[in-house]
Structure 1
Amino acid sequence: MSQIALPLEQTPSPDHDGYLVTAANAEVHRHLQHWREWSHHTMILTGPEACGKTTMAASFETESGGLCLDEASDTEDTEIFHLWNRANSEQKPLLLLSAKPVSKWGVLLPDLKSRLAASLLVEIGPPDQAMIDGLFQKYFNSRGLTISEDALRYLEKRMIRSYAMVQSLAQKMDALAIEAKKPINLAIAKSALEFFDAGDEKVDS
């Protein structure tokens, strides 16, 4: 399975489509590697927006040849039910993705409720500092850039700790650096964080 383990010195190449593994998602990564052990061949993976579910799913599909359903919470009960039955009939693993917990999917079909309840359920936790640093480095590395250590440490103490904020801050720092024709340094990090602290743009946590 394609993935990028820390330490951060081992940064991904620009064309690498892997994902970082830290304590925040280590359990998920372990279960994805051992898909043959899933109860009823099915795993439900939940987690907040921008936490890497789609990238992890892409690696899973390549490695296992299994089935994957994105945004399962927005899918009709019958479609999920048939997909679950197909996976078990064909002895293929099925990965269901959702930003919402299963309790909020609004499942009405009794047979589907029982099948989901019997499936493996794993959640991606909030980003730890290793994940935050790694995501910033991966974002800028993919653009042939680097982010300075003092910029990372400044953001570490002040930013909202969420995947969505990491993504938004990285995009803002990138734009500011291009505009100022400067590297991603402490000044750029301060300006980007001030942009969000001032309420110029809302980021869901």
Structure 2
Amino acid sequence: MVHINKNIQLSLNLKKKRIYEIDNFLVSNSNKEAFELINRWPNWTTRKVIILGDNGTGKTHLSTIWKKKTSATILNIKKFKKIKFENFFLKKNFFIIENIELFFDKINDKEKQELEKKLLHFYNLIEETKSFLIITSSKSPKFWGIKLPDLKSRILSSITVKIKKPDDKLLSLVLVKLFHDKQILIDKKIIKFIVYRSERSLNNLQKIVDKIDEQSLIAKKKININFVKKLI
């Protein structure tokens, strides 16, 4: 039998599933345009929106906020390939395709042609049925490698917004919130140090805060600047 240190067990039990709520979305200049666009729905100038941004910048958070507003259906590549369009839009009118660049990953030319044709048909039906679609991607549409001219045209007709890399203000706000969620009051010097030293990714900040919290529980030590310097 493996014996687990009670402090380790406690720290593992305290980890919470991430909650994507509008009240949890912290706004700064880097994501303001995308956030305001989601809030403006259904008053969009077109029914298709593309949200661009690196991994960990908040694309999934924004699309989940919209999903809760609309009960949208999330389509990954497996689900999309299985769609039979007959009567499909009678029950569903709101869709999210996350990380669309992965649709074109590791497929041959024939599969790509078929996929592009199906995406074009899907795009056309979005318009015909007055449905709505959000696509997220870490790459600009010009790097998706789409060959079909009509599909290219449809995609370019979408509203496109880009979430920039998190600025210092956003990283600081996120860190304060992550520590607050764990009931940890953190010194401003530590926040500045982590922002300066860390990768500009919201996902990475979550890992850092989890690590600091877990190690402080294991070591039974206060979280101060010297303690944090040893961890990151």
> If the TM-score is normalised by the length of the shorter chain, which range does it land in?
0.7 to 0.9
Residue 88, structure 1, aligned to residue 116, structure 2:
no
* Residue deviations 1:90-122 (CA, integer Å, cap 9, x gap): 322210011122121111222210001111111
Alignment of 1:33-182 (within 5 A): 33-65=39-71, 66-75=94-103, 76-182=115-221
TM-score by length of 2: 0.68
SS at match of 1:67: strand
User: Following the alignment from structure 1 to structure 2, what is the Cα–Cα distance between the partners of residues 166 and 187?
Assistant: 18
- Which residue identity lines up with residue 157 of structure 1 in the other structure? Y
Unaligned runs of 5+ in 2: 1-17, 72-93, 104-114
Give the match's secondary structure for 1:95.
strand
Alpha-carbon shift at residue 16 of structure 1 (Å) = 6.7
**Residues 25-77 of structure 1 deviation map (CA, whole Å, 9 limit, x = unaligned):** 00111111123343430110010111111111010122244311111112243
1:33 alignment partner, SS class? helix
Give the secondary structure class of the aligned counterpart of 2:151. Answer: helix
**Residues 23 and 141 from structure 1, CA distance in 2 versus in 1: closer, same or farther, beyond 3 angstroms?**
same
Shift of 1:79: 4.4
My pick for the range that moved more, 47-56 or 29-38, is 29-38
Structure 1 unaligned regions, length at least 5: 1-13, 194-205
| Structure 1 counterpart of 2:136, one-letter code | L
- After TM superposition, the score normalised by the length of structure 1 is 0.76
Residue 20, structure 1, aligned to residue 48, structure 2: no
**RMSD (Å), alpha carbons:** 2.4
Secondary structure in structure 2 of the residue aligned to 1:20: coil
What is the CA distance between 1:83 and its match in structure 2?
Answer: 3.3
The answer to whether the 8 A contact 1:71-1:97 is kept is: yes
Q: How much has 1:149 moved relative to structure 2? A: 1.7
Please say if residues 20 and 61 of structure 2, whose CA atoms lie closer than 8 Å, have aligned partners that are also in contact: no
Cα distance, 1:145 vs structure 2:
3.1
Aligned length, in residue pairs = 180
Q: Which has the higher contact order (CA 8 A, sep 6+)?
A: 2
